[in-house]
Structure 1
Amino acid sequence: MRRIRSTLATLGTLGAAGVLALAVPCSAFAANGFLVIDGVRHDSPKGCFEIPHLSVVFNVSDVPALVHNVPGCAGGFVQIIPPGLAAQVPGTHSVFLG
């Protein structure tokens, strides 16, 4: 019983390490594709984009866009725009891709 628990713990640790190894390098690169905010195209988007007024945001990238209800992508996000979809975003918000 002790050997099974030890093996499961080792497999869990290796699995978690594998997920981290794959996730961390991806976050350092810009998204593939582009983001359109009110008709303005942003190629290979990465980071925070301010939404000063009511805007349509079209996410044509390979990662979800996270909409924050405050400028500067501070705090938690209030909406997710999945790849390939558009959403109307209220003013004084911000969108993060990365």
Structure 2
Amino acid sequence: MRVPIAAMALTAAGVMAMAPLAPAQAATGYVVINDTRYDDPSGCYPLNHLDRAFVVNHTGERAYIYHDPACTRRFLAEVVPPGDTEVFWGAGSLRID
């Protein structure tokens, strides 16, 4: 019996559509921004252009520093590598995924 290619493709697409999507993963560990600890951080954390932002990155991911408070504009090209501590002046936000 011959099954048309289109029918096989539709069957495969249906099976794939029923497969669960993998959830977004947070970084494992914690980040400290000044005196506040965030466990298993994920996303954007505003730094509110603090005079000084003391960042401790105890995750396996890089933390990126942005100029604006919403992690959307002008990445400052500054990174807090995993296991590192940095101090930033006038930064707007931190993103870690």
What is the TM-score of this pair, normalised by structure 2?
A: 0.69
Q: What residue identity is the alignment partner of 2:88?
A: V
State the 4+ residue runs in structure 1 displaced beyond 6 angstroms.
none
Whether contact under 8 Å (2:66, 2:91) holds in the other structure is no
Provide the C-alpha distance between the structure 1 equivalents of 2:37 and 2:57, rounded to a whole number of angstroms: 10
Cα RMSD, aligned residues only = 1.6
- Is the radius of gyration larger for structure 1 or structure 2? 2
Task: Provide the secondary structure at the position in 2 that maps to 1:66.
Answer: strand
Task: Indicate yes or no: 2:72 matched with 1:84.
Answer: no
* 1:62–1:74 distance in 2 versus 1, CA, 3 Å: same
Unpaired runs of at least 5, structure 2: 1-21
Bigger proportion of residues as helix:
1
Q: Deviations over 1:23-51 (max 9, x none)?
A: xx68x210000000112110000000000
Shift of 1:90: 2.2
Shift of 1:91: 3.2
What is the TM-score of this pair, normalised by structure 1?
A: 0.68
| Matched length | 73
Amino-acid identity (%): 30
Provide the C-alpha distance between the structure 2 equivalents of 1:64 and 1:92, rounded to a whole number of angstroms: 16
Give the alignment of 1:1-98 within 5 angstroms: 28-52=24-48, 53=50, 54-78=52-76, 79-98=78-97
